[in-house]
Amino acid sequence: MDYFSINSLRENHAGWSLLRAQNAPLALTFFMTAFTEPNERNLGRQVLVDVLDDVLFTLRDSLGEDKFPRSAGEYLDDWAEPDKAWLRKFYTDTRDEPVYDLTAATEDVIRWVESLRGRDFVPTQSRLSSIYNLLKTLVHGSETDPEARLAELQRQREDIDAQMEQIRSGEIPVMSGPEAVDHFHQLTTSAKDLLADFREVEANFRKLDRNLREQIAMWEGGQGDLLESIFSSQADISGSLQGRTFQGFWDYLMSPQLRTELHELLERATRIEALAQQDGLHSITSMQKDWLPAVEQTQATVRQLSAQIRRLLDDKVFVENKRIMRLIRNIESSAVAVRDTPPSGPFAELPDHDVSVALPFERPLYEPSRQMAINDAVFVAEDLDVDAGALFDQFHVDPQRLEGNIDAVLADAAQATLADITDAYPLSQGLAELVTYFQLATESTWATINSDRSQTLSWTLPDGSLREATVDQIIFVRPT
């Protein structure tokens, strides 16, 4: 970066303006208390006013009543102004009051201020190990030569065989205490950084949305060319580099096998003796629970922005159709105006016009339609042997009962598949009950239908026969 780039950041960047503000200590204290420390997002105005009133009361009690003369609501409105942009103020469909969240620039400032306190322990060995492992993954994962890939896999196999032989001989290499502490601090730091990065990821999605809206608003070509430019390239939100990497993270986080493995590893990490005295050791087990609300909010933002872009394209098509109809009406009115006094000379020129000629013998001969025989015999209902019991065997599937089954299973687990729920509460109404579960999954924001995996569900009919159905996997997640 050169002088002019740095000076532009100093003048325009929201984070830099926050650091230069006179009330920066008050703002940062409030942001940490309300958002980062409890890991909260999208808080309503009244909740934030109450939190800020508590912060102001404590500070005024220590520094004097005239230290911060403005009210909590005035501070919130000032910090959410576009010229500051420390908070993002917006409205949602489910709330009547405005909602606030930290911007990515404010999140960066908070992380930088927290780093100024210094650290008693700085992990170095684990960082070097992480860099080395990332470099190996990058190089070997990008290798296209089959012989080189096989040679690397063979070397890894030999290393694993040597380690297994060493353990069989009684020599078990165990990580030393300092090494364990080093890796633990690197783990917690990376987890916090990842959690803080979600606001910047969401900001990147909104930036992509603004760029797409500008492209749609300034487009002068045809509608087909516009749609091809957006959706056949990587300019759309889900197909962008940020969207594809975030989708990969979402798929990884939603994988039941990987989530179970991660939870087991975190539980085993808390039982390491060398880490017994470390602060926040047992809090790492809730790492997944902290990620899930942030990821779900970012995912909801992507869905919302995609829906808005579709509506914007529909509106643009509607406006274009109105413009075409207006041109047609102008042509018709101009033709009516000159109908009685047509201008002399050529009135309109049509290039490449010709006269279509249809020869009489090219026309097909008349062929009468065929008469279709219809059996119009009428049968009296009493003469037919019809079982009317089917009309009285109808039943109703209660969605509330199925929601209660889902909540009961999720009370003991962070997530559960439809197979887990039917194991605990077997299907008693057959296929109709299974369809109702799918309806609940499509209407819920805390359920995901994974079409890449399938699961087989079974139920027993009243006559004792067994029925099975293979359907897409449904994952229900406990709402936060």
What residue segments make up the domains of the chain, in order of their start? Answer: 3-115, 125-141+177-321, 399-477
- From the CB of residue 140, how many other CB atoms can be counted at a distance below 10 Å? 13
Q: 386: phi > 0 → left, psi -120 to 50 → alpha, else beta; which?
A: beta
Task: Determine the Cα–Cα distance for residues 101 and 40; give it in Å rounded to an integer.
Answer: 9
Question: Residue 165: enclosing H or E segment and its boundaries?
Answer: helix 146-168
**CATH no. of 3-115:** 1.10.10
Over 90: is that where the pLDDT of 183 sits? no
Range from 96-100, 189-193, 227-231 carrying the lowest mean pLDDT: 227-231
Task: Determine the Cα–Cα distance for residues 192 and 258; give it in Å rounded to an integer.
Answer: 20
Sign of the four-CA dihedral 59, 60, 66, 70:
positive
Over 70: is that where the pLDDT of 230 sits? no
Over 90: is that where the pLDDT of 128 sits? no
Over 60: is that where the pLDDT of 236 sits? no
At 233, the pLDDT band (50, 70, 90 cuts) reads very low
Range from 90-104, 186-200, 363-377 carrying the lowest mean pLDDT: 186-200
**382-410 pLDDT per residue, tens:** 555 656 666 666 667 888 888 888 888 88
**77-126 pLDDT per residue, tens:** 999 998 888 998 888 777 788 999 888 889 889 888 888 876 665 566 66
Torsion angle, alpha carbons of 466, 469, 470, 476, to 10: -110
**426-461 pLDDT per residue, tens:** 888 888 888 889 888 888 888 888 888 888 888 888
Q: Give the pLDDT score at 33.
A: 92
Q: Give the pLDDT score at 302.
A: 67
Sheet holding 99-102, edge to edge: 43-44, 99-102, 87-90
Q: Give the pLDDT score at 292.
A: 67
Question: DSSP 3-state assignment of 164?
Answer: helix
Over 60: is that where the pLDDT of 194 sits? yes
Quick one: how far is CA 299 from the chain centroid? 1
Range from 172-176, 181-185, 247-251 carrying the lowest mean pLDDT: 247-251
Query: Does residue 187 contact residue 284 with C-beta atoms inside 8 Å?
Result: yes
Q: Closest Cα to residue 467, out of 424, 433, 421, 416?
A: 433
8-state DSSP, 343: P
Any long-range contacts for 14-20 (C-beta under 8 Å, 24+ apart)? 14/84, 14/85, 14/86, 14/103, 14/105, 14/106, 15/105, 15/106, 15/108, 15/109, 17/84, 18/84, 18/86, 18/105, 18/106, 18/109, 19/109
Half-sphere exposure of 266 (CA within 13 A, CB side): 19
Tell me the mean pLDDT in the region 359-377.
78
Residue 174 is encoded by which pair of tokens?
């165990």
Question: What percentage of the chain reaches a pLDDT higher than 90?
Answer: 8
Give DSSP secondary structure letters for 276-296: TT-TTTGGGGGHHHHHHHHHH
Tell me the mean pLDDT in the region 292-298.
68
Mean pLDDT of the chain: 79
Residue 441 is encoded by which pair of tokens?
């999954």
Tell me the mean pLDDT in the region 281-296.
68
At 25, the pLDDT band (50, 70, 90 cuts) reads very high
Q: Give the pLDDT score at 234.
A: 42
Over 80: is that where the pLDDT of 198 sits? no
Task: Determine the Cα–Cα distance for residues 8 and 13; give it in Å rounded to an integer.
Answer: 8
Torsion angle, alpha carbons of 243, 247, 249, 250, to 10: 130
Over 70: is that where the pLDDT of 345 sits? yes
**131-170 pLDDT per residue, tens:** 767 677 777 778 888 888 888 888 889 988 888 888 888 8
**321-340 pLDDT per residue, tens:** 888 888 888 888 888 887 77
Give DSSP secondary structure letters for 239-274: TSHHHHHHHHHHHHHH-HHHHHHHHHHHHHHTT-GG
Q: Give the pLDDT score at 14.
A: 87
Q: Give the pLDDT score at 53.
A: 92
At 235, the pLDDT band (50, 70, 90 cuts) reads very low
- Name every residue whose Cβ is closer than 8 Å to that of residue 27 and which is 6 or more positions away in sequence: 18, 21, 75, 79, 86
Q: Give the pLDDT score at 28.
A: 92
Pure H helices in 13-93: 14-20, 24-31, 45-63, 72-79
Provide φ and ψ at 99, rounded to 5°.
-115, 145
Q: Give the pLDDT score at 51.
A: 92
Q: Give the pLDDT score at 74.
A: 92
Over 60: is that where the pLDDT of 342 sits? yes
Interhelix angle 177-218/287-337, rounded to 10 degrees, is 10
Query: Does residue 96 contact residue 6 with C-beta atoms inside 8 Å?
Result: no
Q: Give the pLDDT score at 78.
A: 92
Query: Does residue 295 contact residue 250 with C-beta atoms inside 8 Å?
Result: yes
Torsion angle, alpha carbons of 87, 88, 92, 97, to 10: 40
